Structure 1
Amino acid sequence: MLHILVADDDAHIRELLKHYLEAEGYVVYEAADGIEASALLSENQVHLAIVDVMMPNKDGFQLCEEIRTYYDFPVILLTAKDQLVDKEKGFSVGTDDYVTKPFEPRELLFRIKALLRRYQLVNEDIIKLNQTTINRKSYEVESNGKLFMLPMKEFELLSQLASYPGRTFSREELIQLIWGLDFQGDDRTVDVHIKRLRERFSHTDDFIIQTVRGVGYKLEVKKK
Protein backbone atom coordinates (compact mmCIF):
# COMPACT_ATOMS: atom_id res chain seq x y z
CA MET A 1 0.00 0.00 0.00
CA LEU A 2 1.42 3.37 -1.06
CA HIS A 3 1.59 6.36 1.27
CA ILE A 4 1.06 9.95 0.12
CA LEU A 5 1.86 13.10 2.09
CA VAL A 6 -0.46 16.07 1.52
CA ALA A 7 1.10 19.26 2.88
CA ASP A 8 -1.21 22.29 2.57
CA ASP A 9 -2.35 24.94 5.04
CA ASP A 10 -5.85 24.88 3.48
CA ALA A 11 -7.88 22.27 5.38
CA HIS A 12 -10.45 22.08 2.55
CA ILE A 13 -7.76 21.17 0.03
CA ARG A 14 -6.39 18.49 2.37
CA GLU A 15 -9.90 17.06 2.88
CA LEU A 16 -10.61 17.05 -0.87
CA LEU A 17 -7.35 15.31 -1.71
CA LYS A 18 -7.72 12.80 1.11
CA HIS A 19 -11.17 11.85 -0.19
CA TYR A 20 -9.94 11.17 -3.73
CA LEU A 21 -6.67 9.53 -2.73
CA GLU A 22 -8.20 7.14 -0.18
CA ALA A 23 -10.83 6.16 -2.76
CA GLU A 24 -7.89 5.04 -4.95
CA GLY A 25 -6.46 2.94 -2.13
CA TYR A 26 -3.67 5.24 -0.97
CA VAL A 27 -2.80 5.94 2.67
CA VAL A 28 -2.81 9.70 3.27
CA TYR A 29 -0.76 11.71 5.78
CA GLU A 30 -1.82 15.33 6.29
CA ALA A 31 0.32 18.31 7.28
CA ALA A 32 -0.80 21.91 7.75
CA ASP A 33 2.66 23.42 7.29
CA GLY A 34 6.20 22.56 6.29
CA ILE A 35 7.44 21.84 9.79
CA GLU A 36 4.62 19.39 10.45
CA ALA A 37 5.36 17.77 7.09
CA SER A 38 9.04 17.36 8.00
CA ALA A 39 8.08 15.64 11.26
CA LEU A 40 5.76 13.24 9.42
CA LEU A 41 8.51 12.40 6.94
CA SER A 42 10.92 11.52 9.72
CA GLU A 43 8.41 9.16 11.33
CA ASN A 44 6.63 7.53 8.37
CA GLN A 45 7.34 5.91 5.05
CA VAL A 46 6.15 8.17 2.21
CA HIS A 47 6.06 7.28 -1.49
CA LEU A 48 4.92 10.64 -2.93
CA ALA A 49 4.34 14.17 -1.61
CA ILE A 50 1.85 16.80 -2.74
CA VAL A 51 3.20 20.09 -1.41
CA ASP A 52 1.62 23.54 -1.37
CA VAL A 53 4.10 26.33 -2.06
CA MET A 54 2.62 29.03 0.21
CA MET A 55 2.76 27.37 3.65
CA PRO A 56 3.65 29.00 6.97
CA ASN A 57 6.83 28.22 8.95
CA LYS A 58 8.48 26.33 6.10
CA ASP A 59 7.26 26.90 2.55
CA GLY A 60 6.85 24.34 -0.21
CA PHE A 61 10.10 25.24 -1.95
CA GLN A 62 12.05 24.63 1.27
CA LEU A 63 10.21 21.37 1.92
CA CYS A 64 10.79 20.15 -1.63
CA GLU A 65 14.50 20.93 -1.33
CA GLU A 66 14.60 19.00 1.96
CA ILE A 67 12.89 15.98 0.38
CA ARG A 68 15.39 16.01 -2.49
CA THR A 69 18.28 16.08 -0.02
CA TYR A 70 17.18 13.29 2.31
CA TYR A 71 14.62 11.14 0.47
CA ASP A 72 13.96 9.59 -2.92
CA PHE A 73 10.32 9.87 -3.94
CA PRO A 74 8.37 12.12 -6.34
CA VAL A 75 7.07 15.56 -5.40
CA ILE A 76 4.17 17.53 -6.88
CA LEU A 77 4.09 21.23 -6.03
CA LEU A 78 0.56 22.55 -5.66
CA THR A 79 0.04 26.30 -5.74
CA ALA A 80 -2.16 29.18 -6.78
CA LYS A 81 0.82 30.77 -8.48
CA ASP A 82 1.07 30.18 -12.20
CA GLN A 83 3.83 32.61 -13.06
CA LEU A 84 6.76 31.19 -15.00
CA VAL A 85 9.26 32.41 -12.38
CA ASP A 86 7.52 30.33 -9.68
CA LYS A 87 7.52 27.23 -11.86
CA GLU A 88 11.18 27.80 -12.62
CA LYS A 89 11.98 27.98 -8.91
CA GLY A 90 9.89 24.87 -8.23
CA PHE A 91 11.78 22.79 -10.77
CA SER A 92 15.10 24.23 -9.64
CA VAL A 93 14.55 22.86 -6.11
CA GLY A 94 13.66 19.43 -7.50
CA THR A 95 9.91 19.11 -7.96
CA ASP A 96 8.79 16.43 -10.43
CA ASP A 97 5.54 18.15 -11.40
CA TYR A 98 3.74 21.45 -10.87
CA VAL A 99 -0.05 21.86 -10.57
CA THR A 100 -1.80 25.21 -10.19
CA LYS A 101 -5.01 25.84 -8.24
CA PRO A 102 -7.85 25.48 -8.97
CA PHE A 103 -7.20 21.95 -10.19
CA GLU A 104 -9.21 18.96 -11.35
CA PRO A 105 -8.73 16.11 -8.81
CA ARG A 106 -8.90 13.41 -11.47
CA GLU A 107 -6.14 15.09 -13.47
CA LEU A 108 -4.01 15.21 -10.32
CA LEU A 109 -4.62 11.47 -9.87
CA PHE A 110 -3.38 10.83 -13.43
CA ARG A 111 -0.22 12.79 -12.65
CA ILE A 112 0.30 10.90 -9.38
CA LYS A 113 0.00 7.52 -11.10
CA ALA A 114 2.37 8.60 -13.88
CA LEU A 115 5.00 9.67 -11.35
CA LEU A 116 4.64 6.48 -9.33
CA ARG A 117 5.13 4.44 -12.50
CA ARG A 118 8.22 6.50 -13.29
CA TYR A 119 9.59 5.78 -9.83
CA GLN A 120 8.51 2.12 -10.14
CA LEU A 121 6.39 2.37 -6.99
CA VAL A 122 3.10 1.06 -8.35
CA ASN A 123 1.95 -2.02 -6.49
CA GLU A 124 2.23 -4.97 -8.86
CA ASP A 125 -0.49 -7.63 -8.81
CA ILE A 126 2.12 -10.34 -9.42
CA ILE A 127 5.48 -10.42 -7.64
CA LYS A 128 8.03 -12.96 -8.87
CA LEU A 129 10.95 -14.14 -6.76
CA ASN A 130 12.67 -16.56 -9.11
CA GLN A 131 10.21 -19.50 -9.21
CA THR A 132 8.07 -18.19 -6.36
CA THR A 133 5.02 -16.15 -7.38
CA ILE A 134 3.01 -13.90 -5.06
CA ASN A 135 -0.45 -13.01 -6.41
CA ARG A 136 -1.88 -9.92 -4.72
CA LYS A 137 -5.31 -10.40 -6.30
CA SER A 138 -5.94 -14.00 -5.27
CA TYR A 139 -3.78 -13.82 -2.09
CA GLU A 140 -2.01 -16.99 -3.21
CA VAL A 141 1.67 -17.86 -3.14
CA GLU A 142 3.02 -20.56 -5.46
CA SER A 143 6.45 -21.94 -4.61
CA ASN A 144 8.21 -25.10 -5.81
CA GLY A 145 4.98 -26.38 -7.29
CA LYS A 146 3.03 -25.89 -4.05
CA LEU A 147 0.15 -23.47 -3.57
CA PHE A 148 0.01 -21.60 -0.26
CA MET A 149 -2.97 -19.73 1.17
CA LEU A 150 -1.36 -17.73 3.95
CA PRO A 151 -3.10 -16.00 6.84
CA MET A 152 -3.73 -12.41 5.78
CA LYS A 153 -1.08 -10.72 7.94
CA GLU A 154 1.57 -13.22 6.87
CA PHE A 155 0.64 -12.62 3.22
CA GLU A 156 0.77 -8.82 3.63
CA LEU A 157 4.10 -9.04 5.43
CA LEU A 158 5.64 -11.25 2.75
CA SER A 159 4.24 -9.01 -0.02
CA GLN A 160 5.63 -5.89 1.62
CA LEU A 161 9.13 -7.32 1.95
CA ALA A 162 9.02 -8.86 -1.54
CA SER A 163 7.97 -5.57 -3.13
CA TYR A 164 11.28 -4.01 -2.07
CA PRO A 165 13.91 -6.78 -2.17
CA GLY A 166 17.13 -5.80 -0.44
CA ARG A 167 15.52 -2.97 1.50
CA THR A 168 15.63 -3.12 5.30
CA PHE A 169 12.37 -2.45 7.15
CA SER A 170 12.40 -1.72 10.85
CA ARG A 171 9.94 -3.57 13.06
CA GLU A 172 8.17 -0.28 13.73
CA GLU A 173 7.75 0.37 9.99
CA LEU A 174 6.31 -3.10 9.44
CA ILE A 175 3.89 -2.68 12.34
CA GLN A 176 2.62 0.58 10.81
CA LEU A 177 2.43 -0.82 7.27
CA ILE A 178 0.80 -4.17 8.08
CA TRP A 179 -1.04 -3.77 11.39
CA GLY A 180 -1.70 -0.03 11.33
CA LEU A 181 -1.05 2.89 13.65
CA ASP A 182 -3.76 1.78 16.10
CA PHE A 183 -2.16 -1.61 16.76
CA GLN A 184 -1.91 -2.19 20.52
CA GLY A 185 0.64 -5.02 20.54
CA ASP A 186 4.42 -4.79 20.40
CA ASP A 187 7.01 -5.41 17.69
CA ARG A 188 7.48 -9.03 18.81
CA THR A 189 4.41 -9.68 16.67
CA VAL A 190 6.61 -9.08 13.63
CA ASP A 191 9.19 -11.59 14.88
CA VAL A 192 6.51 -14.26 15.31
CA HIS A 193 5.15 -13.75 11.79
CA ILE A 194 8.63 -13.73 10.27
CA LYS A 195 9.39 -17.02 12.03
CA ARG A 196 6.24 -18.56 10.55
CA LEU A 197 7.10 -17.35 7.05
CA ARG A 198 10.59 -18.79 7.32
CA GLU A 199 9.18 -22.14 8.41
CA ARG A 200 6.63 -22.20 5.57
CA PHE A 201 9.22 -21.41 2.90
CA SER A 202 12.21 -23.26 4.34
CA HIS A 203 12.00 -25.58 1.30
CA THR A 204 12.77 -22.88 -1.29
CA ASP A 205 16.05 -21.37 -2.39
CA ASP A 206 14.28 -18.59 -4.31
CA PHE A 207 14.55 -16.05 -1.50
CA ILE A 208 15.50 -15.62 2.12
CA ILE A 209 14.21 -13.27 4.85
CA GLN A 210 17.24 -11.95 6.69
CA THR A 211 17.46 -10.38 10.13
CA VAL A 212 19.21 -7.03 10.25
CA ARG A 213 20.50 -6.97 13.80
CA GLY A 214 19.11 -4.16 15.90
CA VAL A 215 16.90 -2.89 13.09
CA GLY A 216 14.47 -5.31 11.47
CA TYR A 217 14.22 -7.49 8.37
CA LYS A 218 14.83 -7.58 4.63
CA LEU A 219 14.08 -10.05 1.86
CA GLU A 220 16.89 -11.09 -0.43
CA VAL A 221 16.26 -12.78 -3.78
CA LYS A 222 18.84 -15.51 -4.33
CA LYS A 223 20.83 -15.40 -7.52
CA LYS A 224 20.30 -18.36 -9.82
Structure 2
Amino acid sequence: MNMINKNKINILVVDDEDSITSFIKMGLEAEGYNVYTASDGIGAMALARKLKPEIIILDIMMPGMDGYEVCDEIKKLMKTSIIMLTAKDEIDARVKGLNSGADDYMIKPFSFKELLARINARLRNIFPELNSLIPIGDFLIDNGAHEISFRDKTLKLSVTEYNLLKYLLINNGLVLSKASIIENVWCNDFNGEENIVEVYIRYLRDKLGDKEHKIIFTVRGVGYRMTI
Protein backbone atom coordinates (compact mmCIF):
# COMPACT_ATOMS: atom_id res chain seq x y z
CA MET A 1 0.00 0.00 0.00
CA ASN A 2 1.40 3.37 -1.07
CA MET A 3 0.74 5.69 1.87
CA ILE A 4 2.27 9.02 2.90
CA ASN A 5 5.62 8.41 4.56
CA LYS A 6 5.47 11.02 7.31
CA ASN A 7 9.18 10.89 8.03
CA LYS A 8 9.73 12.29 4.54
CA ILE A 9 7.43 15.27 5.18
CA ASN A 10 9.14 18.47 6.37
CA ILE A 11 7.09 20.97 8.34
CA LEU A 12 8.42 24.43 9.19
CA VAL A 13 6.89 26.23 12.19
CA VAL A 14 7.52 29.97 12.34
CA ASP A 15 6.56 31.98 15.43
CA ASP A 16 8.43 34.31 17.78
CA GLU A 17 6.76 32.68 20.81
CA ASP A 18 8.87 29.73 21.94
CA SER A 19 5.94 28.18 23.79
CA ILE A 20 3.96 27.89 20.54
CA THR A 21 6.77 26.49 18.40
CA SER A 22 7.70 23.99 21.12
CA PHE A 23 4.09 22.87 21.55
CA ILE A 24 3.58 22.32 17.80
CA LYS A 25 7.00 20.73 17.27
CA MET A 26 6.50 18.21 20.08
CA GLY A 27 3.05 17.19 18.84
CA LEU A 28 3.98 16.86 15.16
CA GLU A 29 7.18 14.95 15.87
CA ALA A 30 5.11 12.50 17.91
CA GLU A 31 3.00 12.04 14.76
CA GLY A 32 6.13 11.15 12.78
CA TYR A 33 6.81 14.38 10.88
CA ASN A 34 10.14 16.16 10.51
CA VAL A 35 9.65 19.52 12.23
CA TYR A 36 11.87 22.60 12.09
CA THR A 37 11.33 25.96 13.76
CA ALA A 38 12.22 29.59 13.18
CA SER A 39 11.51 32.63 15.34
CA ASP A 40 11.55 35.34 12.66
CA GLY A 41 10.91 35.90 8.99
CA ILE A 42 14.52 36.01 7.87
CA GLY A 43 15.29 32.70 9.59
CA ALA A 44 12.13 31.24 8.08
CA MET A 45 13.19 32.22 4.57
CA ALA A 46 16.63 30.64 5.02
CA LEU A 47 15.19 27.36 6.32
CA ALA A 48 12.49 27.28 3.65
CA ARG A 49 15.08 27.59 0.88
CA LYS A 50 17.14 24.80 2.43
CA LEU A 51 14.35 22.37 3.38
CA LYS A 52 11.63 23.10 0.79
CA PRO A 53 9.00 22.04 3.39
CA GLU A 54 5.67 20.61 2.33
CA ILE A 55 3.88 22.54 5.10
CA ILE A 56 4.70 25.90 6.71
CA ILE A 57 2.85 27.05 9.84
CA LEU A 58 3.41 30.80 9.84
CA ASP A 59 2.62 33.50 12.40
CA ILE A 60 1.74 36.95 11.04
CA MET A 61 3.23 39.26 13.66
CA MET A 62 7.00 38.71 13.83
CA PRO A 63 10.12 40.88 14.06
CA GLY A 64 11.88 41.74 10.80
CA MET A 65 9.87 40.28 7.92
CA ASP A 66 6.26 39.75 8.90
CA GLY A 67 4.18 36.75 7.89
CA TYR A 68 2.71 38.44 4.83
CA GLU A 69 6.14 39.15 3.35
CA VAL A 70 7.40 35.66 4.14
CA CYS A 71 4.31 34.05 2.61
CA ASP A 72 4.54 36.12 -0.55
CA GLU A 73 8.25 35.41 -1.05
CA ILE A 74 8.06 31.69 -0.31
CA LYS A 75 5.14 31.16 -2.69
CA LYS A 76 7.28 32.65 -5.47
CA LEU A 77 10.08 30.20 -4.76
CA MET A 78 8.49 26.80 -4.16
CA LYS A 79 5.42 24.60 -4.00
CA THR A 80 4.32 24.47 -0.39
CA SER A 81 1.17 24.83 1.69
CA ILE A 82 1.08 27.68 4.21
CA ILE A 83 -1.18 27.75 7.26
CA MET A 84 -1.16 31.21 8.87
CA LEU A 85 -1.69 31.82 12.58
CA THR A 86 -3.82 34.82 13.54
CA ALA A 87 -5.35 36.35 16.66
CA LYS A 88 -9.11 36.32 17.19
CA ASP A 89 -9.59 40.02 16.37
CA GLU A 90 -7.47 40.00 13.22
CA ILE A 91 -10.23 39.47 10.62
CA ASP A 92 -8.60 41.84 8.13
CA ALA A 93 -5.27 40.14 8.80
CA ARG A 94 -6.71 36.74 7.90
CA VAL A 95 -8.12 38.09 4.65
CA LYS A 96 -4.81 39.75 3.83
CA GLY A 97 -2.98 36.50 4.61
CA LEU A 98 -5.16 34.48 2.25
CA ASN A 99 -4.74 37.14 -0.42
CA SER A 100 -0.97 36.96 -0.01
CA GLY A 101 -0.99 33.27 -0.90
CA ALA A 102 -1.75 31.45 2.35
CA ASP A 103 -3.73 28.22 1.90
CA ASP A 104 -5.43 28.21 5.29
CA TYR A 105 -5.42 29.96 8.64
CA MET A 106 -5.95 29.13 12.30
CA ILE A 107 -7.05 31.41 15.10
CA LYS A 108 -5.05 31.45 18.33
CA PRO A 109 -5.54 29.73 20.69
CA PHE A 110 -6.13 26.49 18.78
CA SER A 111 -6.26 22.79 19.53
CA PHE A 112 -3.51 20.50 18.28
CA LYS A 113 -6.16 18.08 16.99
CA GLU A 114 -7.59 20.75 14.69
CA LEU A 115 -4.13 21.78 13.51
CA LEU A 116 -3.33 18.17 12.65
CA ALA A 117 -6.60 17.83 10.72
CA ARG A 118 -5.77 20.95 8.72
CA ILE A 119 -2.24 19.74 7.98
CA ASN A 120 -3.53 16.37 6.78
CA ALA A 121 -6.16 18.09 4.63
CA ARG A 122 -3.53 20.36 3.06
CA LEU A 123 -1.23 17.41 2.30
CA ARG A 124 -4.02 15.51 0.59
CA ASN A 125 -5.19 18.54 -1.38
CA ILE A 126 -1.89 20.11 -2.39
CA PHE A 127 0.27 17.00 -2.73
CA PRO A 128 -1.94 14.19 -4.10
CA GLU A 129 1.14 12.71 -5.77
CA LEU A 130 2.43 11.70 -2.32
CA ASN A 131 0.11 8.73 -2.36
CA SER A 132 -2.22 6.88 -4.70
CA LEU A 133 -3.91 4.94 -1.89
CA ILE A 134 -5.16 7.05 0.99
CA PRO A 135 -6.45 5.25 4.10
CA ILE A 136 -8.74 7.40 6.25
CA GLY A 137 -10.41 5.57 9.12
CA ASP A 138 -12.51 2.72 7.68
CA PHE A 139 -12.18 4.20 4.20
CA LEU A 140 -9.59 3.69 1.47
CA ILE A 141 -9.37 6.11 -1.45
CA ASP A 142 -7.80 4.57 -4.55
CA ASN A 143 -6.89 7.50 -6.80
CA GLY A 144 -5.63 5.21 -9.55
CA ALA A 145 -8.81 3.13 -9.81
CA HIS A 146 -11.07 6.08 -8.97
CA GLU A 147 -12.69 4.00 -6.23
CA ILE A 148 -13.43 4.28 -2.53
CA SER A 149 -13.73 1.30 -0.21
CA PHE A 150 -15.56 1.30 3.12
CA ARG A 151 -14.78 -1.44 5.63
CA ASP A 152 -12.99 -3.44 2.92
CA LYS A 153 -15.90 -3.27 0.47
CA THR A 154 -15.73 -1.19 -2.70
CA LEU A 155 -18.61 1.30 -2.86
CA LYS A 156 -20.66 1.60 -6.04
CA LEU A 157 -20.49 5.33 -6.63
CA SER A 158 -21.39 7.65 -9.49
CA VAL A 159 -18.71 10.15 -10.56
CA THR A 160 -20.34 12.90 -8.50
CA GLU A 161 -20.76 10.65 -5.45
CA TYR A 162 -17.08 9.65 -5.69
CA ASN A 163 -15.93 13.26 -5.95
CA LEU A 164 -18.15 14.36 -3.07
CA LEU A 165 -17.14 11.52 -0.74
CA LYS A 166 -13.47 12.05 -1.57
CA TYR A 167 -13.75 15.78 -0.84
CA LEU A 168 -15.41 15.05 2.51
CA LEU A 169 -12.79 12.44 3.38
CA ILE A 170 -9.68 14.45 2.54
CA ASN A 171 -11.10 17.23 4.71
CA ASN A 172 -12.01 14.84 7.54
CA GLY A 173 -12.69 16.73 10.75
CA LEU A 174 -13.29 20.08 9.06
CA VAL A 175 -16.70 21.70 8.58
CA LEU A 176 -17.41 22.24 4.89
CA SER A 177 -20.07 24.70 3.73
CA LYS A 178 -22.44 23.86 0.90
CA ALA A 179 -20.83 26.64 -1.14
CA SER A 180 -17.35 25.16 -0.75
CA ILE A 181 -18.65 21.67 -1.59
CA ILE A 182 -20.31 22.95 -4.77
CA GLU A 183 -17.19 24.87 -5.75
CA ASN A 184 -14.88 21.89 -5.27
CA VAL A 185 -17.13 18.99 -6.35
CA TRP A 186 -19.32 20.42 -9.09
CA CYS A 187 -16.86 23.18 -10.15
CA ASN A 188 -18.15 24.86 -13.31
CA ASP A 189 -20.73 22.17 -14.03
CA PHE A 190 -23.19 23.41 -11.41
CA ASN A 191 -26.29 25.25 -12.57
CA GLY A 192 -28.83 24.21 -9.95
CA GLU A 193 -29.75 24.93 -6.34
CA GLU A 194 -27.67 24.37 -3.20
CA ASN A 195 -30.08 21.64 -2.08
CA ILE A 196 -28.39 19.34 -4.62
CA VAL A 197 -25.72 18.91 -1.93
CA GLU A 198 -28.33 17.60 0.51
CA VAL A 199 -29.57 15.16 -2.13
CA TYR A 200 -26.11 13.70 -2.73
CA ILE A 201 -25.29 13.63 0.97
CA ARG A 202 -28.42 11.50 1.38
CA TYR A 203 -27.25 9.18 -1.41
CA LEU A 204 -23.90 8.71 0.34
CA ARG A 205 -25.47 8.12 3.73
CA ASP A 206 -27.68 5.42 2.23
CA LYS A 207 -24.69 3.65 0.68
CA LEU A 208 -22.72 3.91 3.93
CA GLY A 209 -25.62 2.76 6.11
CA ASP A 210 -25.28 6.04 7.98
CA LYS A 211 -28.87 6.29 9.19
CA GLU A 212 -27.96 8.19 12.37
CA HIS A 213 -25.64 10.61 10.53
CA LYS A 214 -22.65 9.61 12.65
CA ILE A 215 -20.27 9.36 9.69
CA ILE A 216 -21.37 12.43 7.74
CA PHE A 217 -22.44 14.88 10.43
CA THR A 218 -24.68 17.86 9.69
CA VAL A 219 -23.56 21.15 11.26
CA ARG A 220 -26.81 23.08 11.20
CA GLY A 221 -26.69 26.35 9.36
CA VAL A 222 -23.11 25.73 8.22
CA GLY A 223 -22.61 22.51 6.29
CA TYR A 224 -21.18 19.02 6.81
CA ARG A 225 -18.29 17.36 8.59
CA MET A 226 -16.87 13.87 8.17
CA THR A 227 -16.42 12.36 11.63
CA ILE A 228 -14.26 9.24 11.39
Category of TM-score, reference length = shorter chain:
0.5 to 0.7
C-alpha contact (below 8 Å) 2:52/2:80 kept by paired residues: no
Q: For residues 1-28 of structure 1, what are the alpha-carbon distances to aligned partners after superposition, in whole Å with 9 as ceiling and x for unaligned?
A: 1000000000000000001110111101
In the alignment, which residue of structure 2 is the partner of 1:44?
Answer: 51
In the alignment, which residue of structure 2 is the partner of 1:23?
Answer: 30
1:32-71 equivalent positions in 2, closer than 5 A: 32-71=39-78
Find the aligned partners of 1:106 and 1:77 in 2 and give their Cα distance. 16
C-alpha contact (below 8 Å) 1:116/1:122 kept by paired residues: no
Which residue type is aligned with residue 108 of structure 1? L
- Say if 1:125 and 1:19 are closer, same or farther in 2 by CA, change over 3 A: farther
> What is the Cα deviation at residue 86 of structure 1?
1.1
> What is the Cα deviation at residue 42 of structure 1?
1.7
Q: For residues 82-136 of structure 1, what are the alpha-carbon distances to aligned partners after superposition, in whole Å with 9 as ceiling and x for unaligned?
A: 432111101110100011110111100000000000012585497xxxxxxxxxx
- The percentage of counterpart residues that share the same residue type is 44
Question: After TM superposition, where is structure 1 displaced by more than 3 Å over at least 4 residues in a row?
Answer: 121-126
Find the aligned partners of 2:102 and 2:132 in 1 and give their Cα distance. 29
Q: For residues 54-103 of structure 1, what are the alpha-carbon distances to aligned partners after superposition, in whole Å with 9 as ceiling and x for unaligned?
A: 01011111111111111111000012254321111011101000111101
- 1:104 pairs with 71, 92, 111, which one? 111
CA RMSD of aligned residues (A): 1.9
1:124-203 equivalent positions in 2, closer than 5 A: 124=131
C-alpha contact (below 8 Å) 1:48/1:73 kept by paired residues: yes
Matched, 1:10 2:13: no
Aligned-partner SS, 1:5: strand
User: Which runs of 5 or more structure 2 residues have no equivalent in the other structure?
Assistant: 1-7, 134-228
In the alignment, which residue of structure 1 is the partner of 2:93?
Answer: 86
Find the aligned partners of 1:17 and 1:41 in 2 and give their Cα distance. 17
User: Which runs of 5 or more structure 1 residues have no equivalent in the other structure?
Assistant: 127-224
C-alpha contact (below 8 Å) 1:47/1:121 kept by paired residues: no
In the alignment, which residue of structure 1 is the partner of 2:165?
Answer: none
Which residue type is aligned with residue 44 of structure 1? L
Aligned-partner SS, 1:78: strand
Q: Calculate the TM-score normalised by the size of structure 2.
A: 0.53
- Say if 1:69 and 1:30 are closer, same or farther in 2 by CA, change over 3 A: same
Which residue type is aligned with residue 99 of structure 1? M
Structure with the greater alpha carbon radius of gyration: 1
Find the aligned partners of 1:82 and 1:99 in 2 and give their Cα distance. 12
> What is the Cα deviation at residue 44 of structure 1?
1.6
Q: Calculate the TM-score normalised by the size of structure 1.
A: 0.53
Find the aligned partners of 1:80 and 1:122 in 2 and give their Cα distance. 33
